[in-house]
Amino acid sequence: MPVSRRHVMLQGAVIGAGVISSTIPAMKALAQGQPPLRRTLQGLAWNDPIVETYRDAVAQLKAKPNSDKTGWAGLATIHGSNPGAYHFCPHGNWYFLPWHRAFVVTYERFIRKLTSNNDFAMPFWDWTSNPRMPAVFTAAKLPNGKPNALFVDDKDFGQTWKRTWPATKAMPANIVGPAVLQQILAATDYEEFGTSRPKGQNNTNPSWVLKRTGDQGVLEFTPHNNVHNNIGGWMPSASSPRDPIFFMHHCNIDRIWAVWNSLPGNENSPDPLWRGMTFTNNFLNTDGSSWSPKVTDLFDPEKLGYTYGLATPVASASPMPSLVAMRNKLATVRAAPAANAEGVKSFTATPPTGAVGTATAPLNVAVNVDPALLASVTKRTPVASGADLANFAAAQEQRASGPRVLAFIRDVKVTGAQDTEYQVYLDTPETNPQDGASDPSYVGTFGVFVHGEHAGHGGAEEADTNADPSFVLDLTAAIQRVYGSGMTPGTIKLRFVPTVAKPGVRPGTIRPGQVEIVFLNT
């Protein structure tokens, strides 16, 4: 029977609540001959054909020697050649999403061939609806007493690799909850959504894929980085694909990209520097030959052999003018940090010399700004959530049509990255560093992944591939909550608080190289 846009939704998607659950966007009826549907792991039993196929394939791949490039360890070297050395995978730039889409597809194809199950599609772990690790991954033995290939207790590289996140503990709402998903889906352009281009890119030489000098957006720096780090074991390392849960996590990241693409007004970057990049010899076909997809080859999941069943939005007759203007302003900022063009005003500050933030002594960075610009933000009408698909486009237009304030947190140096979440607040006398996301002054939480090396590079290129990460956070809503209409302070103060979600570990430290506050007004 036909699938109703109003009543049947993809697992994970109520836009207004910020949850990708089963309401919006709508699923379309799957016609005969369409590729297999990627489904949520939630509710799948041990003996579900999807779970059994994945588990059996992982066991077969693990049985191959580490030297076999088509085995479990061998395929993981596409991502990282050892736990501390990254190979082909990009993080911290705009190739993050398409590259990992191709990487997951590589495994999906191997699994189908190994199991002769051409109906298999990689399931996803919807950590918003189900924030605990799926039970089929957390027990060492299957119900029949046989070893569970999805459990991790590995010995390699001279050490034992086990997950450290408790099986019964939920991932924190401040990294996977509804409000985080709302922020992610509200991104007004691809580089805000999927992380921005590496600084200075002017061609499509493959070396740009490994430069992590872009500004990470919420999708990468909050759920992606922190889920990796929290799980522990292989997951916070370059060898993270050695953990079978890696693919459930990245399948969900990929699904969120597909959902964002399906929403009215959202489109991938038109820039040929992104679209024209080829991931030369990065991946393998199932016969062991190289697969070198171009970014544009990776836009359509159905052409890659799977679907999320998302309805395609009706194309708008003309672009929303405010949204186009906002995207142009963002492009100006990315092209020249500290840019001041029409509708763009930037203010910067650096932390005091030698100052670092700790859990007990957070780092405060004050940025002097124009009080009149700040007043314009406090007085604007708060943006509606876009509680259903019909209203989402209007909410995006409203978001883009008024003043916004972004904080670019650049060149961040941290310690204890694998165990620490770094929370950001507007610093006010009432701010309690431990209040978390319930505090009106709370802005967001970022994690730091990819703290290591890329293999086979050196000199200036090595510096770019191992650069300290940068992040961009939207301060608009927090400023409206904290300052209220008509208040005009001349300084925006940001407070950086390292904290931990794991039991029994100590938080690290943080020091941004620079904080840039940018006012955008269309």
Res 502: pLDDT: 85
Mean pLDDT for 90-101 is 97
Is residue 50 over pLDDT 70? yes
Q: Tell me the pairing of strands 470-474 and 215-216.
A: parallel
* Residue, of 166 and 489, whose pLDDT is higher: 166
Grouping H, G, I as helix, E, B as strand and the rest as coil, residue 218 is helix
pLDDT at 25: 47
Predicted confidence (pLDDT) per residue in 206-253, tens digit: 999 999 999 999 999 999 999 999 999 999 999 999 999 999 999 999
Q: What is the mean pLDDT of residues 263-286?
A: 95
Higher per-residue confidence, 335 vs 81: 81
Q: What secondary structure letter does DSSP report for 197? A: P
Looking at the DSSP assignment, which residues form a beta bridge with residue 511?
A: 413
Give the 3-state secondary structure of residue 215.
Answer: strand
Residue 447 to residue 116: CA distance in whole angstroms: 39
Q: From residue 358, how far is each of 312, 428, 444 by CA, in Å? A: 46, 18, 17
Tokens of 45: 């039993």
In this structure, the number of other CB atoms found within 10 A of the CB of residue 361 comes to 12
- Token pair of 382 as six digits: 């708060």
pLDDT reading at 336 higher than 50: yes
pLDDT-based confidence at residue 516 (cuts at 50, 70, 90): very high
Cis geometry, peptide bond prior to residue 223 (ω within 30 degrees of 0): no
pLDDT at position 217 is: 97
What is the average per-residue pLDDT within 336-348? Answer: 79
Tokens representing residue 279 in the block: 């991931």
pLDDT at 498: 96
Query: Is pLDDT larger for residue 489 or for residue 329?
Result: 329
**Spatial contact of 118 and 34, defined as CB atoms under 8 Å apart:** no
Residue-wise pLDDT tens digits, 6-42: 222 333 333 333 334 433 344 555 666 789 999 999 9
pLDDT of residue 454: 54
Structure-block tokens of residue 64: 């191959």
Q: Which residues contact 143 (CB under 8 A, 6 or more apart)?
A: 46
63-87 burial: b if 16+ Cβ within 10 Å, else e: eeeeeeebbbbbbbbbbbbbbebbb
For residue 390, the model assigns a pLDDT of: 54
In the predicted model, is pLDDT for residue 408 greater than 80? yes
Of all residues in the chain, what percent carry a pLDDT higher than 70?
A: 84
Asked whether residue 202 carries a pLDDT value surpassing 80, the answer given is yes
Q: What is the mean pLDDT of residues 412-421?
A: 95
| Domains along the sequence of the chain with CATH | 35-304 (1.10.1280.10), 330-520 (no CATH)
Helix (H) / strand (E) element for 52: namely: helix 49-62
Q: Has residue 459 got a pLDDT over 80?
A: no
CB neighbour list of residue 507: distance below 8 Å, 6 or more residues apart: 358, 359, 416, 419, 420, 498, 499, 500
Residue-level pLDDT at 339: 60
Q: Over the chain, what is the mean pLDDT?
A: 87
Structure tokens at 198: 């590496």
Listing DSSP states for 373-396 in one string gives: HHHHHHHSPPPP---SHHHHHHHH
Give CA angle at 357 (348, 507), nearest 5°: 140
Highest mean pLDDT among 98-107, 326-335, 483-492: 98-107
Q: Comparing 465 with 12, which gets the higher pLDDT?
A: 465
The residues facing 154 across adjacent strands are: 161
